[in-house]
Amino acid sequence: SSRSHRVVLCAEARIAELEYQQQQQAAAGEGTISSGIARHNFHQRLFVVLLRYKSIQGHGFQAAAGPSVFELLRQQLSVGFECFASPLNANFSRYGSAFPDGDGPFGSAGSFFRMQLKHGSYEVNPPFVPSILTATAQHLLQQLHAAEVAGGALSFVVLMPGWREVEGWQLLNSSDFLRQSVLVAAADHGYCDGASHQRKDLYRQSPYDSGVMFLQTTAAAKKWPVREQLVADLRTAMAECCPTAAAAERQKQQRGQRDLEWQGLVPGTNPGDQQEPQQQQLKKRKKKGGKTPQHQPQLDAKQHTKPGAKQHKRKKVKPSTN
């Protein structure tokens, strides 16, 4: 199959795909190395990637558009490069990523902020962090200005949360390079989970409305026009990335489990609680007067004291007769 367009499937398939890529590279440039050594090198490189992305605890930052979205952009706008991706969720053989030292063997071309792009069609889906969104917008507009002067055909499809108060959003939506802007409701689309290689489900619901902006130089707008039908098809493709009802419920339960783990209310997190069900732990804590997330003591709106607390009457002070 073609290696220019890849789809994230599951842990085993993704790792097998990365291994196949490494085997191709070894066959092309390291043909004298034995298969055993090549496999050992692959495992070392894979360990570095998995450990790096696990340690930053940022799976939400690594969420990606779904395969149907990339297929549409590839067909209609000739998009062939992701500016923000990782070896674990990339849809193309070459992409930009945050850690080129570890990601390089798996196709990373380095940080987007170091790239000087003069022509071509790109997908841009940066981490949903205001400062990064703004830095992305600034760098992207610089590239467009330079390409416009040089007469280059440069096109970007930008996905970001619908945070209209963020400077990055305002910069892109007020740019002369903006050809089309679409706002998709959170309930109407999803993303590939940034940890899909560790999850049972590929998709997760978007927590925010998402904006999709098409920014192009004059030459790019002629070469890859953004038509109304493309916008309609994009909405459909993004809707296909919503998790199923069963997957959404499973993810909701998983989030609840992680919250309980954080609060120390699951078996094995407290001495003596290894075999106790969660409900028994909650009941014991209530009897001991411990606080639980569901039963936080509330302050009385008028008295500003906890319910049941003794009220101390103020002594009346007689007015002075002097």
**Does residue 276 surpass a pLDDT of 80?**
no
- Look at 172 and 7; give whichever has higher pLDDT: 172
Least confident of 62-66, 107-111, 220-224, 267-271: 267-271
- Look at 37 and 210; give whichever has higher pLDDT: 210
**Does residue 112 surpass a pLDDT of 70?**
yes
Average pLDDT of the residues of the chain:
76
**One-letter identity of residue 158:** V
Instruction: Give 137-152 pLDDT, tens digit per residue.
Output: 999 999 999 999 999 9
Tell me if residue 34 falls in helix, strand or coil.
Answer: coil
**Does residue 257 surpass a pLDDT of 60?**
no
Rank 58-62, 174-178, 254-258, 299-303 by mean pLDDT and report only the highest. 174-178
Backbone angles phi, psi at 154, to 5 degrees: -125, 130
**Does residue 268 surpass a pLDDT of 60?**
no
Least confident of 19-33, 246-260, 289-303: 289-303
pLDDT at 281: 53
| Sequence-separated (6 or more) residues with CB below 8 Å from residue 172 | 137, 140, 141, 158, 160, 178, 213, 215
Partners of 279 in the beta sheet? Answer: none
**Does residue 132 surpass a pLDDT of 90?**
yes
| Sequence-separated (6 or more) residues with CB below 8 Å from residue 166 | 130, 133, 134
pLDDT, average across residues 45-70? 76
pLDDT, average across residues 165-172? 97
The band of 216, judged by pLDDT with boundaries at 50, 70 and 90, is very high
**Does residue 11 surpass a pLDDT of 60?**
no
**Does residue 171 surpass a pLDDT of 80?**
yes
pLDDT at 7: 41
CA nearest to 45, candidates 73, 68, 25, 67: 25
Least confident of 45-54, 69-78, 232-241: 45-54
Query: Which pairs from 236-239 meet CB under 8 Å and 24+ separation?
Result: 237/66, 237/68, 237/69, 237/71, 237/72, 238/65, 238/66, 238/69, 238/184, 238/188, 238/189, 238/190, 238/210, 239/188, 239/189
- Look at 32 and 306; give whichever has higher pLDDT: 32
Q: How far is CA 321 from CA 84, 86, 125, 233, in A?
A: 79, 82, 77, 86
**Does residue 63 surpass a pLDDT of 70?**
yes
pLDDT, average across residues 75-80? 96
- b/e per residue 87-114 (b: at least 16 CB within 10 A): bbbbbbeebbbbbeebbebbbbbbebee
The Cα 216–Cα 222 span in angstroms is: 9
